[in-house]
Structure 1
Amino acid sequence: MRLVDATWPEIRPESFGGQAPILVVPLGALEQHGPHLPLDTDAAIATAVAVAVSAARDRAALAPTLPLGASGEHAGFPGTLSIGTDALHHVLIELVRSSTPAFAAVMVVNGHGGNVGALRSAAALCTAEGRTLLPHPLGLPGMDAHAGRAETSLMLHLDPSRVLLGRAAPGNATPLRDLLPELRTHGVRGVSPNGVLGDPAGASSSEGADLFESLLERALHAFDSLHC
């Protein structure tokens, strides 16, 4: 069920297979994704996965996408908008508080790595308050860090009209774990002038479809782990 299409009397266990619903919230960011991908790439991917989860599970209630996150590391590029970790933490906390008691738990499908700090701290506070916030990061072993082959393939699968392949170019392909110290100090612009961390060469819609299925499988597993 999409919350934006529902009326309040429909938010009851009878509408969700006889159990209290679980709220599924897509969380993205608005930040540069190289010269070839749209600023909302993270939100677009997170939304697509969350929509598929809600379609596959009767107990899932799909919330509207939270389109802004903590993207300070991308501030050197025009178009990036960030609310920061502290603000995102408070948004998540108040969202979960307001969801109680109608929803048994909140699962956040997160498309942006910079949101992880806010999600972890918010989840810890929710647990202390007796509420359940499950952060679910979108990622797979071997995926490059940002605007490379993986995200380009995913967007080619989800909406190829929004991918400007003619502008795609390699960026800094250093593994993220090795790049982090410099990235934290200088931001993405300081380590990759075009904003790409990886190489989009070889991206394809068929690869994107395979990646999406793997992301969805992991997300469904996380959803099913919520015993509440």
Structure 2
Amino acid sequence: MTTHAHTGDLARRPWPAVPRRPMVLVPVGSFEQHGPHLPLDTDTRIADAVAHGAARRLRGRRPEDTVLVTPPITFTASGEHQDFPGTISIGHEALRLMLVELVRSLSLWSGRVVFVNGHGGNVSCLMRAVAELTDEGRDVVWVPCEPVGGDAHAGHTETSLLLHLAPDQVDMTAAVRGNTTPIRELMPALRAEGVGGVSPTGVLGDPTGATAEAGARLLDELVADVARRVDATRADRKRAAQ
């Protein structure tokens, strides 16, 4: 006999097993190049793992609460990576509209909706969508997956996380040091030229010293941070969990 009482994976539940007004976490990733050594769905894998980890932690703190996780949103806003084959982007306006309509649908049966974002290119869409939905009276926030001091893209941070989460998907023989200029300094060129204009390999950072052990620590930090942000905003439905 299958039981659904202790699984947070919404996709695995039949509709009668969906509880009344659960909190729902929605991982938001991307499908874009991550250098010559990481898979195209790197951001999606990270956002999904963080969302599931945060859901488990939130349920542990308040066992009476139900926290569910949806399948991740994979195709998002990745235009800055479009120079690289394999990247799939739906653009900012399509993403914003999808986020809005998704929450309008979820709100018919869910409680708070939390977007767990794993890709920086989605931020402006998330901010606009959450503001619009909040004005409509929806209970929705978004939280970033951003480790303190991490590098920008396909470097030590993301490579370590993937070595922990999916080591068979990482080719460290192809890992190369990329452009290590701080992201704030790179932003003007990134906006004008895209990632390909500042890094021929698509790497912003240095993945060569990445380890699975570092990835395990980083994942735990991200899970704890997302759970903390969500907890901090449970009582304040007007504030984004940033």
1:67 corresponds to which of 71, 74, 79: 74
Which residue of structure 2 aligns with residue 30 of structure 1? 31
Q: Give the deviation of 1:110 after TM superposition.
A: 0.6
- Partner SS state of residue 57, structure 1: helix
Which residue of structure 1 aligns with residue 45 of structure 2? 44
Which residue of structure 2 aligns with residue 57 of structure 1? 58
Alignment partner of 1:196 is 2:203: yes
1:95-132 Cα distance to aligned partner (Å, 9 max, x none) = 10001131111101111000001100000001100002
Q: Give the deviation of 1:5 after TM superposition.
A: 1.4
Alignment partner of 1:146 is 2:147: no
Which residue of structure 1 aligns with residue 14 of structure 2? 7
| 1:1-228 equivalences in 2 (<5 Å) | 1-13=8-20, 20-58=21-59, 59-225=66-232, 226-227=234-235
Letter of the 1:30 counterpart: F
Taking only aligned residues, the RMSD between alpha carbons, in angstroms, comes to 1.1
> In the aligned structure 2, how far is the partner of 1:153 from the partner of 1:4?
28
Preserved CA contact (<8 Å) 2:23 2:68: yes
**With structure 2 as the length reference, what TM-score do the two structures score?**
0.89
Runs of 4+ in 1 over 4 A off after TM superposition: none
Preserved CA contact (<8 Å) 1:22 1:105: yes
> In the aligned structure 1, how far is the partner of 2:141 from the partner of 2:155?
27
Q: Give the deviation of 1:202 after TM superposition.
A: 1.2
Unaligned runs of 5+ in 1: 14-19
Unaligned runs of 5+ in 2: 1-7, 60-65, 238-242
Greater Cα shift, 112-121 or 4-13: 4-13
Preserved CA contact (<8 Å) 1:172 1:198: yes
Preserved CA contact (<8 Å) 1:123 1:132: no
Letter of the 1:221 counterpart: R
> In the aligned structure 1, how far is the partner of 2:183 from the partner of 2:93?
24
1:59-104 Cα distance to aligned partner (Å, 9 max, x none) = 2111111111100000000000000110000000001000113111
Letter of the 1:44 counterpart: R
Greater Cα shift, 105-114 or 51-60: 51-60
> In the aligned structure 2, how far is the partner of 1:175 from the partner of 1:186?
16
> In the aligned structure 1, how far is the partner of 2:19 from the partner of 2:155?
42
Q: Give the deviation of 1:223 after TM superposition.
A: 2.2
Give the total of aligned pairs. 222
